[in-house]
Amino acid sequence: MIKFSLRCIQGHAFESWFQSGPAFDGLRERGLVTCPSCGSSEVSKALMAPSVSPARKAPTPEMREKLAALRAEIEANTDYVGERFAEEARAMYLGDIPDRPIHGEARLEDAKALLEDGIPVLPLPFLPSRKAN
């Protein structure tokens, strides 16, 4: 796993974990790497400033609003599968069940195993609000 500092087209900086550089490129090409602040998929690896380490800024009300909108959109358009996430993602990838957009919870090792098998998964910039049934 590798952590990249990323920046969206609107200049929001954020960080995310990926299996590898090529895995990041593949996800980005498919528009699956999105800015947690504005949801833009126009993201690129940020250039690192060698000597400056600005204090992490607290989210502004505007950022919170966008994050809330992104969360609402994801929750409205994808099925919440709770802790069955890894199992369901793998079954879809293998064609055992029909494809559908899902979100849920996965342990880090499960997420890593999915990525190692070439199954695209992404961390959400928030915790799901609903509990598994």
In the bound state with Zn ion, the residue whose beta carbon lies nearer, of 38 and 106, is 38
Of 66, 69, 70, 109, which is closest to residue 86 (Cα–Cα)?
109
Sort residue 95 into left (φ over 0), alpha (ψ -120 to 50) or beta.
Answer: left
Eight-state DSSP code of residue 4: E
CB of 63 to Zn ion, least distance (A): 9
Helix axes 85-93, 108-116, angle to 10 degrees: 10
In the bound state with Zn ion, the residue whose beta carbon lies nearer, of 63 and 113, is 63
Decide: 9 and 43 in contact? Cβ < 8 Å: yes
Using CB under 5 A, pick the residue from 10, 20, 44, 60 that binds Zn ion. Answer: 10
Does position 70 interact with Zn ion (CB under 5 A)? The reply is no
Contacts with Zn ion, 29-68, as mask; x by CB under 5 A: ------x-xx-x----------------------------
Does position 7 interact with Zn ion (CB under 5 A)? The reply is no
In the bound state with Zn ion, the residue whose beta carbon lies nearer, of 64 and 100, is 64
Distance CA 66, CA 60 (A): 10
Residues that bind Zn ion in the complex, under the rule CB under 5 A: 8, 10, 12, 35, 37-38, 40
